Amino acid sequence: MQKLRAEGSQFTDRGTVDYVIVGVGSAGGVLLQRLARAGFKVLGLEAGPFWDTEKDWLSDEAGSNKLYWEDLRITGGVNPISLGANNSGKGVGGGSVHWAAFTPRLHPSDFQVYSLDGVGTNWPISYEDLKPYYELLELEMPVSGPAWFPWGDPHGYAYGPHPLGEVGDVLVRGCTKLGIRVCAGGPVAILAGSHDDRPHCIYRGYCIQGCKVGAKASTLITHVPDALRHGAEIRDYSMASRIALGPNNRVEGVFYFDREGTERFQRAKAVIVAGYAIETPRLLLNSACPEYPMGLANSSDTVGRYLMVQAGNVILGRFRNLVRMYKAPPAHALTEEFYETDPKRDFARGFAIQTVGPLPIAFGKQMMAAMGAWGWGLRRVMMDYNHWSALGLLGEILPWHANRVTLAKETDQFGIPVAHVHFNLFDNDKKLIEFGKNKVMEVMSAAGAEQVVQEQRYAHLVGAARMGADPGTSVVDKFGRTHDVPNLFICDGSIMPTQGSANPGLTIQALAARTADYLIMQGERIFRSDLRELTAPTPRVDLSPAGTFRKGIPRPHASWIFSRRIAHAKA
Amino acid sequence: MSTRPSHPPRDTDTHLPMEPVAQPGYYPDYDVISQQNAWDDATRKVVLSRLQSRPSLQFFNPAEAEMMLLVCDHIIPQDDRDADHRIEIIPVIDERLHKKRTAGYRYETMPPDDEAYRLFLQALDLMSRHNHGKQFSGLSWREQELILQSINKGKPLEGAGEVWLRLPVHQIWTLFVGDCITAYYQHPWSWNEIGFGGPAYPRAYIRLERGEAEPWERDENRYDWEAPPESVSDLDELSHHDHFPHLTKGGVHD
Ligand SMILES: Cc1cc2nc3c(=O)[nH]c(=O)nc-3n(C[C@H](O)[C@H](O)[C@H](O)COP(=O)(O)OP(=O)(O)OC[C@H]3O[C@@H](n4cnc5c(N)ncnc54)[C@H](O)[C@@H]3O)c2cc1C
Ligand code: SF4
């Protein structure tokens, strides 16, 4: 796989950079790349390591824990969510290192959930605002998928789909039997054919352990190399502890602990926090100061609130024939047939059904949860591992004021207070989960499973620093600028006001590209002026990493790229 | 270790104890380790290191270690494996607790993991004393099995009520059994047992559908067995389990 390098340090603590980005994950990687290409002095502080993928990553389940955020967090509430390996990464690339890389877009309805359904909230932007960025990022990762994706805003993918593994076959069989439309081979940010210096997928099934092959997109290999080539710097093992507010209500820089555990300070003209839905609010809360006693940029008391996870029940079916679900990427087939609100159901919004492919340890724990397996029963069901197939529910849980991140009394290895996460399910969520899980069980049975069990769990995180038009009920505006502090931005999964039933990664990266365009359009004004310009930037197609834009075969419904191509040809 | 009582599974037809073997499971001559030359260096190193015996325990004291051994023999019984092919579970847990590695979170209702483990062992002794007047290690295998079963069902036998106030039954069980699963199913011998293909970089898997075997994998060769009669942990014992949701059509609404 391609060689990666972290350049030596070029900015010093004493100098001032244009932007410090806290967290080089899915969003941080894209921001760093865009801003560097546009010529800004940009520095990424990343709490985890800069990976040497050939040495650090393994084809091994138990050996891959270091990819996840394993520092302490406290989790509670009526329905406490598990964290760590279940939803948060650490190290350059962040969650995109260990994601399964499903990359569906949100549906147009997701941006106006409150107007349409009277629940949740509306976004301050529409699907059309984000669509050009979806199309760009689908080429930059790039995304493999079917020629025709029928749900939401129907579209097709420029790169061909993957062959099916047996789990995908199970989903297609079950859906077909029940007359449910299903889509196979993607959309997933995994190469079905080689692409520049990246080889194609070898179907080894260890996506969640980090793709050593380089076939699965992570910002570590899609955007960070381009960022470094354009002068960005990344300091790894650098844990931001506090953002410093200076005079005139502007932030001055970031305190962080370096790899030796020494506290340092980096000056910056503007700061972008991209630490994801738990660490972002934690950092803001830990940055409380006399001007913002409830936490930096938290005059609305919204920082930490409206945290969301998606219902991620795993439905397991035992088949008479062998399945061997460890083969092929876990992510390779899905249906969004139940995504939208259906007035015939007794709840708002909906869910998707997707393939998953738990490896033995994960499967064993699922059997413990789903069947109460232990002792000889556990040994017996594990001996049948190769007969089981797994499908995942991906259901929309609504944003609730009470679901939030606060600070715990415990501290981490640097002495920084850790996050406390409080999570409850509410009525709509419970009804949706009940209906959705039964539907997936039905699909599993229709595919021919002779026994079907399920485990209730959650996937993904978003929210906790949401964007909105009203500074009284949101933390950032539609470009990620905090309502309170003009040169402080947030750009990661935490700014999403609702989440739909799509995996969040593509949307997070698309939002990052859009914020970058805004910052680039605003130029020096960000560093000097308090004026809040709210005009949307024109999407920049010249900032994609080399060799991505205008590659692949565009589909008729990739309308925006198509029209660009024509415009380009005319020029 | 050699003095551990043996409770091997039985042959379903004859109900006689089965002879322990080097490799139980339905893939008798499958050997994933023989494929090590097809693995990348970093992975090979980590996987093969699991075949070495681990350094001595640093977290558990000798008494705790002895008790852990007893408990783990119930959670992941290995009496179908011969003495040379048992998978060590406690050293893996010991290392995690000693190095204070966590899963990245702790339930607000749970004490830190190291404390949780010690409290759990205490709870077992308290339950044993209350119900049988002896510590856990003095109980018959069956009595031990019933104590653990009651915890798995979320309704622990009496005697440790005070501990459960500080240690939610379901959460500690999940943590404990989860750690045992991690230890056992990371070992390549367990991959042989269940027919798991293991590492596949850089070689790749090429037969993706219908559960077909790669040229170097094995087809399944099943045999029937039943758990020893003194055990209550086999799957059929779980049918009364509270969260055993066999698909019932009644639960499905359209
Ligand atoms: C097992 C698994 C499977 C998944 N599968 C999918 C999928 O198929 N499709 C999908 O779309 N999504 C998937 N996700 C979710 C996806 O990975 C995340 O939603 C996404 O990566 C979040 O992006 P982000 O930029 O907001 O944060 P991240 O990518 O998590 O990046 C945040 C970064 O900030 C760093 N950081 C945090 N705090 C600090 C600090 N104080 N100082 C310095 N650095 C800091 C972190 O180390 C991290 O690298 C999956 C997640 C998991 C765990
Ligand atoms: S299945 Fe494909 S994408 Fe996933 S880890 Fe293996 S090679 Fe990478």
Confidence tier at B244 by pLDDT (50, 70, 90) = very low
User: Is position A562 within any domain?
Assistant: no
**Residue A12 scores a pLDDT above 90:** no
Is B55 near chain A, with CB under 8 Å? no
pLDDT category, A551, cuts 50, 70, 90? confident
Question: Which B residues in the span 163-182 are in contact with A, Cβ-Cβ below 8 Å?
Answer: 174, 177-178, 181-182
Q: What is the pLDDT averaged over residues A138-159?
A: 95
Contact between residue A38 and residue A45 where contact means Cβ atoms under 8 Å apart: no
Residue to substitute in A69, A105, A137, A276 for testing ligand 1 pocket (most ligand atoms within 8 angstroms of CB): A276
Number of structural domains (chain A) is: 1
- A569 located within any domain: no
The mean of the pLDDT values for chain A is 95
Domain presence at residue A87:
yes
φ/ψ of residue A162, rounded to 5: -90, 155
**By the CB < 8 Å criterion, does B98 face chain A?**
no
pLDDT at B13: 93
Which tens digits make up the pLDDT trace of B202-225?
999 999 989 999 999 999 999 999
Residue B172: inside a domain: yes
Do the domain assignments include residue B196? no
Q: If you measure from the C-alpha of residue A276 to the centroid of ligand 2, how many angstroms do you get, rounded to a whole number?
A: 24
Residue A563, Cβ density class (10 Å: 0-12 exposed, 13-18 middle, ≥19 buried):
exposed
Q: Is the residue at A478 inside a domain?
A: yes
> Contact A325/A358 with Cβ under 8 angstroms?
yes
Asked if B49 reaches chain A (Cβ–Cβ under 8 Å), the answer is no
At residue B243, the pLDDT reads: 42
Please tell me the distance from the alpha carbon of residue B25 to that of residue B34, in angstroms, as a whole number: 18
Q: According to the model, what pLDDT value does residue A86 have?
A: 85
Mean pLDDT, to the nearest integer, of A108-130?
98
The pLDDT assigned to B241 comes to: 44
Domain contains B144: yes
**Shortest-distance ligand to the CA of residue A236:** 1
d(CA A192, CA A211): 14
Rounded to the nearest angstrom, the distance between the alpha carbon of B167 and the centre of ligand 1 is 31
pLDDT tens digits, A309-329: 999 999 999 999 999 999 999
In this predicted structure, what is the pLDDT of residue A317?
98
Residue A556 lies in a domain: no
pLDDT at A560 over 80: no
For the segment A474-500, the average pLDDT, to the nearest whole number, is 98
pLDDT of amino acid A463: 98
- Closest by alpha carbon to A91, among A189, A195, A237? A237
B180 falls within a domain: yes
Domain that holds residue B170: 1-18+52-186+225-254
The model's pTM is 0.95
**Do the domain assignments include residue B198?**
no
- Atom from ligand 2 closest to the CA of residue B200: 6
pLDDT tens-digit readout, A404-443: 999 999 999 999 999 999 999 999 999 999 999 999 999 9
More confident position, B168 or B55: B168
- What separation in Å is there between the alpha carbon of B249 and the centre of ligand 2? 37
Q: Name the residue with the closest Cα to ligand 1, atom 2.
A: A99
Q: So what's the pLDDT on residue A562?
A: 47
Tell me the average pLDDT across A238-246. Answer: 98
What string of DSSP letters covers A262-313?
A: -EEEEEEEEEEE-SHHHHHHHHHHHT-BTTBTTSTT-TTS-TT-S-EEEE--
Look at residue B105 in the predicted model and tell me its pLDDT: 95
Range of the domain at A52: 16-547
Whether residue A281 is contained in a domain is answered as yes
Output the pLDDT for position B144.
98
Handedness of CA A337, A339, A343, A347 (dihedral sign): positive
Pair of tokens at residue A408 = 């715990």
A174 contacts: CB under 8 Å, gap ≥ 6: A180, A442, A443, A444, A445, A446, A447, A448
Tell me how far the alpha carbon of residue A456 is from its chain's centroid. Answer: 21
Quickly state the pLDDT bin for A332 (edges 50, 70, 90): very high
Which position has the token pair 């783990």?
Answer: B72
Which two tokens mark A337?
A: 């047939």
A139 pLDDT exceeds 90?
yes
Closest approach of A366 to chain B, Cα-based (Å): 9
In tens, the pLDDT along A350-384 reads 999 999 999 999 999 999 999 999 999 999 999 99
User: What integer pLDDT is reported at residue B55 of this predicted model?
Assistant: 81
Q: What are phi and psi of B87, to 5 degrees?
A: -95, 125
pLDDT of A134 strictly over 90:
yes
The yes-or-no verdict on residue B2 having pLDDT over 50 is no
Residue A5: what pLDDT? Answer: 53
Parallel/antiparallel/unpaired status of strands A388-395 and A314-318: antiparallel
Give percent of chain B with pLDDT exceeding 70. 92
pLDDT digits (tens, 9 = 90+) for A250-273: 999 999 999 999 999 999 999 999
Mutation target to probe the A interface, by most A beta carbons within 10 A, among B92, B151, B212, B247 is B247
Q: Give tens-digit pLDDT for B185-208.
A: 999 999 999 999 999 999 999 999
Residue A400 has phi, psi (to 5 degrees) of -120, 140
CB spacing of B200 vs A204 below 8 angstroms: yes
d(CA A197, CA A204): 19
CA dist A184 and A213 (Å) reads 22
Residue A559: predicted pLDDT: 52
Q: Is position B121 within any domain?
A: yes
Residue A199 has pLDDT above 50, yes or no: yes
Q: What are A450-480's pLDDT values in tens digits?
A: 999 999 999 999 999 999 999 999 999 999 9
Q: Ligand 1 centre from A466 Cα, in Å?
A: 16
- Peptide bond between residue B202 and the one before it cis (omega within 30 degrees of 0): yes
Mean pLDDT of chain B: 91
Q: Which residues in chain B have their CB less than 8 angstroms from residue A88's CB? A: 104
Going along chain B, which residue ranges are E strands? 10-11, 106-107, 225-226
Query: Any CB–CB contact under 8 A between B141 and chain A?
Result: no
pLDDT digits (tens, 9 = 90+) for B103-123: 999 999 999 999 999 999 999
Q: CA B39, CA B34: separation in Å to the nearest integer? A: 10
A329 lines ligand 2 (CB under 6 A): yes
Residue nearest to atom 47 of ligand 1 (CA): A90
Flag whether pLDDT at B253 surpasses 50.
no
How many Å lie between the centroid of ligand 1 and the Cα of residue A266?
Answer: 23
- Rounded to 5 degrees, φ, ψ at B176 are -65, -55
Q: How far apart are CA A381 and CA B241, in angstroms?
A: 16
How far CA A541 is from CA of A34, A37, A159, B22, B61, in Å, comes to 11, 12, 19, 61, 63
> Which CATH number do you get for residue A444?
3.50.50.60
Q: Is residue A188 part of a domain?
A: yes
Encoding tokens for residue A358? 């738990």
> Nearest CA to A445 among A312, A325, A356, A315?
A315
Tracing tokens 């060769």 back to the chain, one arrives at B221
pLDDT for position B242:
43
Share of chain A above pLDDT 70, in %: 95
- pLDDT at A278 exceeding the cut of 60: yes
Report pLDDT for A7. Answer: 52
- Ligand nearest the Cα of residue A255 is 1
- DSSP run (H or E) holding A337: none
Answer yes or no: is pLDDT of B245 > 90.
Answer: no
Cβ contact (<8 Å) for A80 and B108? yes
Look at chain B and report how many structural domains it folds into.
Answer: 1
The alpha carbon of A133 and the centre of ligand 1 are apart by a number of angstroms equal to 19
- Tens digit of pLDDT for each residue in A86-107? 889 999 999 999 999 999 999 9
Between CA A30 and CA A35 the distance in angstroms is: 9
Q: Is residue B220 in some structural domain?
A: no
Structure tokens at B240: 């009364």
Cross-chain Cβ contact A324/B241 below 8 Å: no
- Collect all residues of chain A within an 8 Å Cβ-Cβ radius of residue B42: 54-58
A67: pLDDT strictly greater than 50: yes
Q: Which residues of A touch B249 (CB under 8 A)?
A: none
Structural domain includes residue A558: no
Determine if ligand 2 sits within 6 Å of the CB of residue A203: yes
Which of A401, A381, A561 has its CA nearest to residue A497? A401
The pLDDT of residue A571 is 47
Cα A533 from Cα A200, distance rounded (Å): 43
